[in-house]
Homo-oligomer: A and B are copies of this chain.
Amino acid sequence: MSDQRLYHSVAARIEKLIEDGSYPPGSRLPAERELAAQFGVSRVAIREAEIALQTLGRIRIKTGSGAYVLDGANGKDEQLPDVSAFELTEARALFESEAAALAAAQIDDETLAELDRYVEIMANTDGHDAAGEKADHDFHRTIAGASGNAAITYVIETLWKLRDELEPVKAVYESVCSEDVGARATEHSEILEALRARNPSAARTAMRNHFTRLLKAMLDETEQRELEELRRKTSQSRERYLKSVAI
């Protein structure tokens, strides 16, 4: 349990005290000397632990006054929200299609060539390939970047991160992406052509179509899965029923 570093375990103990409510946000922690005595460690260890906690934004140390517990919300590094794959896709449909429209208005030939390469890669890989996955990401990222708006790029990148880091969402995406590779290629080509034509409206539509298809595929997939789940449960209960009547 001890993380080798003494200050680590001390920090953990202090954090626990905070979590327990012994020291609610805004309250003052005991003095360093006091904590040192209480924990049976040196003042240096306490100090190091408090520096780590301060760096993490859990407490605030005021010279000559004491260490104060900050509002927990600041501390815990922005937990990811509870977002379903459908919500994510809907959001992406909305935002990325707008980004595509903006991009169409000002994209340059070099960027178009880059997108060509990504489409090429995706055409030559199948669903589960990591390279294809990366090309997909790059394709969307590049279009977002071509919007010329860093905030939009940031948002789209943030959503992509959600997709990768939320396990349930990731699972849905993977199962959906692995099939219908052909559709993906076609749609990406259509988006690319709309961009090449510098047609914002067409780009928006093409991007929206892409996500709409994805959303539908997800719904189908989910429905399918739920059906199987239902069948499985049914057969289970049937077995149990048969067993019970057999007794």
Q: Which A residues form the contact surface with B (CB < 8 A)?
A: 4, 7, 44, 47-48, 51-52, 55-56, 63, 77, 81-84, 87-88, 90-92, 94-95, 98, 149-155, 158-159, 162
A51 interface neighbour in B51, B83, B149, B151, Cβ under 8 Å = B51
The answer to whether B150 touches A82, judged by C-beta atoms less than 8 angstroms apart, is: yes
The residue of chain B having its C-beta at the shortest distance from the C-beta of A80 within the complex is B154
- The answer to whether B159 touches A88, judged by C-beta atoms less than 8 angstroms apart, is no
Quick check: A151 and B83 within 8 Å, CB to CB? yes
Q: Which secondary structure characterizes the binding site on chain A?
A: helix
What are the residues of chain B within 8 A of A48 when measuring CB–CB? 47-48, 51
Nearest chain B residue, comparing its CB with the CB of A82: B150
- CB neighbours (8 Å) of A4 from chain B are 63
Task: Tell me if A83 and B52 are in contact (CB < 8 A).
Answer: no
CB neighbours (8 Å) of A87 from chain B are 149-152
- Docked-complex contact B94 and A152, CB < 8 angstroms: yes
Report how many copies the assembly holds: 2
Give A103 to B98 CA distance when docked, in angstroms. 18
User: In whole angstroms, what is the CA distance A10 to B95 when docked?
Assistant: 43
Q: Are A154 and B52 in contact, with the CB atoms below 8 A?
A: no
- Indicate if the CB atoms of A151 and B162 lie closer than 8 Å: yes
Contact A83 B162 (CB under 8 A): no
Whole-angstrom CA separation of A56 from B53 in the bound complex: 11
Question: In the docked arrangement, what's the CA distance between A92 and B150, Å?
Answer: 12
Given A51-B48, A55-B55, decide whether A91 and B151 contact each other with a Cβ distance below 8 A: yes
Task: Tell me the bound Cα distance from A92 to B95 in angstroms.
Answer: 11
Q: Supply 16 A–B pairs (Cβ within 8 Å), ascending by A.
A: A47-B48, A51-B52, A52-B55, A81-B153, A83-B154, A87-B149, A88-B151, A90-B149, A91-B152, A94-B95, A95-B95, A95-B98, A95-B155, A98-B98, A154-B162, A155-B155
A51, A83, A153, A158: most-surrounded residue (chain B CB, <10 A): A51
Closest CB of chain B to A141's CB: distance in Å? 13
Please judge, given known A-B contacts A48-B47, A56-B55, whether A159 and B151 are in contact too, CB under 8 Å: yes
Among B44, B63, B83, B150, point to the contact of A83 (Cβ < 8 A): B150
